[in-house]
Structure 1
Amino acid sequence: MEMIRPFDVAEFLEDPKTAAAYLAAVFEEGDAEEIRVALNDVARAHGITDLSRETGLSRETLYKAFGSTGNPTLSTLLAVVKALGIKLSVAA
């Protein structure tokens, strides 16, 4: 009998364009919890250790910010987005 693995969207988000499209869709909905989850997915896809090195933030800080009870600060969000090669924009 073959075991079915749980689906993990992070496995499909290594490409910055794919990650940006995923985040854009989630940001459009505007739900803070969904945005936190999506950022966690993209961060895991990129690799927390690499992201820590690139942002100068500790792995613990990243895990806390994007974990189930996290609430990332704006500076953490901006550092992570920049390290991921993604740009945020605002439109009317």
Structure 2
Amino acid sequence: MNKELIPFDLVEYLDNEEAMAEYLSQVLEDGDNDEFLRAIGYLAKAKGMAQIAKETGMGRESLYKAFRPNAKPRFDTVMKVLHALKLQLTAAPQLHQ
């Protein structure tokens, strides 16, 4: 009995603002900077990189480069993309363990 694995594409599940916000919140909670930047790239792909490029005034290729592995995008680039995704970062007191 052969079983074929179906490729998993996270972007397919990021189909609304609530799902996007929950995903990004989980990534932020983990505290991994590289994963955070990768997550923003996934979110931008889910919404449509061309649409994000239009809303940010940036080039589509520039956005792909900014959120590829090991890239170090500027903070203003991150914030422009988050704004285009209709997501915001918020601060809260850290709960002590």
Return the TM-score normalized by structure 1: 0.91
Cα distance in 1, alignment partners of residues 9 and 19 from structure 2: 15
CA deviation profile, 1:48-76 (whole Å, cap 9, x unmatched): 01100011011111111111232221101
1:58-73 alignment to 2 at 5 Å? Answer: 58-73=59-74
What is the distance in 2 between the residues matched to 1:84 and 1:25? 17
Number of residues paired by the alignment?
Answer: 92
Aligned-residue Cα RMSD (Å) equals 1.4
Consecutive unaligned residues of structure 1, counting only runs of 5 or more, are none
Structure having the larger proportion of residues in helix? 1
Question: Aligned pair 1:81/2:55, yes or no?
Answer: no
User: Which segments of structure 1 move beyond 6 Å, counting only runs of 4 or more?
Assistant: none
Distance 1:55 1:91 in 2: 27
CA contact (8 A) 1:40 1:67 kept: yes
* One-letter amino acid of the counterpart of residue 53, structure 1: K
Distance 1:3 1:54 in 2: 39
2:50 — aligned with what? 49
- Letter of the 2:26 partner, please give it: A
2:23 is matched with: 22
Q: Residues of 2 paired with 1:5 and 1:40: CA distance?
A: 22
The percentage of aligned residue pairs carrying the same residue is 37
**Higher alpha-carbon Rg:** 2
